[in-house]
Structure formats: structure tokens, C-alpha cells
Structure 1
């Protein structure tokens, strides 16, 4: 599909706001490996090829295994994720599919047991941010492997 719009060039202030959120996520103290799993999973749910390509590449560069990346699409059935990762992935699915899930109490309680209150906010910000990036990339048809925008 051809790109619809270079959103970086069309509205740099909007992109800078998103980059500010991304910076806060990176500086949150959450494990980079966990963040890449969350970003990849949300991107799978949102069918964002651009972000799936980017975050799986970044995850592999940071040492993530191929097996764990392959299994991410069916993480609930896979035993290769830690309880903390599973809690983050459940919360990611819940918030990414918010209209369908309503962020159910069981997903929140599992996440709250694995993350401190500060980390809960940081994780939620990470999910909010990747969902925003997914909407830019899918909406404007960013091309995987090419510069964004």
C-alpha cells in the first residue's frame, strides 16, 4: 500500500508530543525487553506491520530470542514468558482492545500484583504510546523498513 502522508513533515509538533511520551516510557525504569514485548504485542493486535517490523528488530538486537517473538501472537498458550511479562501482556491486550474488554478486573489485579503503582502507570503509558504510534503508522500507511512518516 502506498504511504498516505508523511506525518512527521505534516505536523512536527504533534510528532514531538508523541516522542515526548516515548522518552518518558524509555526513562520509566521498566525493563527494555518487557517494553519491546508490549510494543510488539500491541502492534500485532492493531495489525501495524510498520511497528511489528521495528519492534521485533529492536527486540532481537537487545537479545530477545526468535522463539519468544514467534510465540508472542499466542502468548497465553506459551510457557516461555515470566509471570511479570504475562501480566504486562494481559494488560496490553486489555487496554489495546479496550472497547471489547473494558479493562477487566482480573487483568488489572494480575498486573497490579506484578508491578508497583509507579510501574503500573509507566506500563499503561507504554501501552497508550504504542497504540498512538500504531494509529499514526496504520492510518497514514507507514511502510515497514522505511523511515517513519
Structure 2
């Protein structure tokens, strides 16, 4: 059983997503009106959620990681952007707004890109009416 909620078997999915201790982390980080690099957000959030759970278990006071995750993701995005541009200047990001689907529907947003070296990729995210995350994907398509 989960040491924190005592309600569910402590599977990896429960410990990292469904436990009431960790669930607010995901609900507060995934903003329905912002597009962000989901891979870096997910990896950073999982790492900090795991540290948080372990430190809570051993009585070490560790602040809830949501704000820390967002700072790390933002720093990662800026550094990645600077490296890709090949210059010392950093471009500003402009967030694309998201619109809720009609009642009873879900929204699938997709995007794709091709780098100068020919690497092609695509990705998408499915959200419900209230912006809740339902599913998503990222795929390396190949070279073109």
C-alpha cells in the first residue's frame, strides 16, 4: 500500500502520477493555454517528484516541486534555444493560446518540424474541455 495515501497499491504509476501527494504537481504544471516542451517537463517533474516522495518518507522537509520544475524547464528551454541558434543571444518565446473544445468533445493539437540537418519529428497532445491532459505523443519521423 502507498505510504502516503494508504488507499492504493504503490505502483510506479500511482507513485509518480495518481497519488494525492503528487497529483497536484501535474495539475498545476500543465497549463491548458501554454505549449511547452513536454519531454523536459515530464522528465524534470518525475525526477523531482521522486526526490520529494523519498524525502517526505524520511522526514526531510522538501518544498513541493511544482515551481522548481517550472523554473528548471524554463531554464532548459532557454539554454536549448541558445544552443540551437548557434549564437549567444536568446530569442523570446511566444506562447500559442489554446481554446477549449465544445462540450462533450476533446481537442487534439499536433505539430511537426524539420531541422536543417533533415531530422523530422511530430507530436501531439489530447486535452479535455477543462484543459486536463488525456494523452500525448512525440515521434521521430525520420530524415527528409
Which has the larger helix fraction?
Answer: 1
TM-score w.r.t. length of structure 1:
0.23
What TM-score, normalized by structure 2, do the two folds share?
0.24
Point out the structure with max Rg over C-alpha. Answer: 2
More strand by share: 2
Structure possessing the higher relative contact order (Cα contacts under 8 Å, 6 or more residues apart): 1
